Every structure is written in C-alpha cells, then in structure tokens.
Amino acid sequence: MFLQVIMNYLFCAYRNWNITLFQKLSKKFNNMTLLTNPKKLTIKFVTDLNPDYIFFPDWSWIVPEQIIKKFICVCIHESNLPKFRGGSPIQNQIIRNIKKTKSTAFVMNNKLDTGDILLQKTLSLEGNMNEIIDRITQNNYDLITKIIRGKFIQKKQSGKPTVFKRRQPSESELESLNHSNQYIYNFIRMLQDPYPNAFLKIDGHKIIFKSVKIKGTNIHFGGVIE
C-alpha cells in the first residue's frame, strides 16, 4: 500500500498577470490557494492552511516574521541576486541600460532579499513592459513548477551585493529632455503601465508617456496631455 502525500501551496499575489499565473498553476497542482489581501496574511490563517510552500511572485507588503520563521516562503525577485536587492529591481536595472538579468527564486528570511537561492532563470529586459512582464510570468511558472517538483539545489548568495530603494511616483518625472535617446527611451518604457507613467511638465501642462519606440535616431511615443 502506498500513502499519497498531499501538499498544500499558498500563492500570494495581487497583480492581474500573477493571478492569471496562479490559475495556470492551479490546473497543474492541486491544493493551491490564492491570497490577494495582505490583511489576511496572518499566522493563524497560514497555520490553519499549513502550506508546504508559500510563493510570493508579486508582493508589496511586509510578511510577518512569524510566518517567515515557521514556513518556507519563496520570493521571486527580478535580478541576479545579490545584485539589485530592494525595491523596483526592473526599473533600477533598465535605467542603467542593463539588458539581461535573472529571475531569482529564493527563501525569505528576516533581511531584505538575502535568503538562499533555489533557482534562477535568465530574463531579458529588452522591449516594452508588456513583453517583459510576459517573460517574467513564464519564468515564474517554470521556477515554481520546478520548486514544487523538488528540482532545485539550495545555495547561499555569493558576490558583492548592491541595494536600491523602491522608486516613488514622484520619481517618474522626466525633468528635462537633455539626455541621450537611449536614456529617455529606457526612462519611458520602464514606467509603462501598470507602473506610474513617466511624465514631463511644460507650460503648466503634464505630458504623460504611455508608449515609446526608437526608430533610427528618433524617439516615437504615445501619451496624453493634461
């Protein structure tokens, strides 16, 4: 007689693309619970559920330390850790003209983005934000699938860390056009929806940039004027 081991998973996310990811994963793996409200992420809720893994592919709130200590919490951070620890890793890399990075799945601890790495997968930062998000979503699907199946080797982070703060909406202002085309292109595309869009103030109006492309030596953009 074989005993079937039933595993539970908690998936914490709130943005649309990761909710779609949850729906895809839940078709492959049973007993996967979605949590979108940070107020419901309590030690009692998690203890009652008793998940084998808690996945945080997309989360903007502090996870209670009790939960981190008691359960295996896996965060997916869009950088080649320990580089670009902290907030807004996508934006902080794009504005520095970094074209290739990694999606890194790591075990959370009580410090910022310092836990052991489980898996990494290459991530291109080229193209518009929708294209980048599509790649992130596919990476997250592959990483979570492999972790659930036990196909990873846990290891300490190595190398010199760099830490960056989360960007604020006020930092979305493009204060002048006295920059290279590449810088302006990167600045606008890194702040495409769903992020606070890049904007330029001029003559009492605000130009809000929604899309951008480089064609030859020219920048082509779409947006609105308020």
- What is the domain partition of the chain in residue ranges? 9-164, 169-225
Give the whole-number percent of the chain exceeding pLDDT 90. 91
Provide the CATH topology of domain 9-164: Rossmann fold (3.40.50)
Of the ranges 77-81, 166-170, 216-220, the best mean pLDDT one: 77-81
pLDDT score at 217: 86
Which pLDDT does position 3 carry in this prediction? 47
pLDDT given for residue 45 in this prediction:
97
Q: What's residue 58's pLDDT?
A: 86
Coil vs helix vs strand at 76:
strand
Residue-wise pLDDT for 198-208, tens only, equals 999 999 999 99
- What would the pLDDT profile of 155-175 be if each residue is shown by its tens digit? 999 999 999 999 999 999 999
How far is residue 91's CA from residue 94's CA, in Å, rounded to a whole number?
Answer: 5
| pLDDT tens column, 121-137 | 999 999 999 999 999 99
The torsion region of residue 102 among left (phi > 0), alpha (psi -120 to 50) and beta comes to beta
Question: Can you name the CATH fold of 169-225?
Answer: Methionyl-tRNA Fmet Formyltransferase; Chain A, domain 2 (3.10.25)
- Mean pLDDT, all residues of the chain: 94
Of 58, 105, 114, the C-alpha closest to 84 is 114
Q: Does the pLDDT of residue 100 top 70, yes or no?
A: yes
Residue 216: band (very low, low, confident or very high) from pLDDT cuts 50, 70, 90: confident
Predicted local confidence at residue 5, as pLDDT: 57
Question: Residue 1 — pLDDT band, cuts 50, 70, 90?
Answer: very low
Helix axes 16-28, 129-148, angle to 10 degrees: 30
pLDDT bin (cut points 50, 70, 90) of residue 2 is very low
Q: What is the mean pLDDT of residues 18-34?
A: 95
Sheet holding 218-225, edge to edge: 199-202, 205-215, 218-225
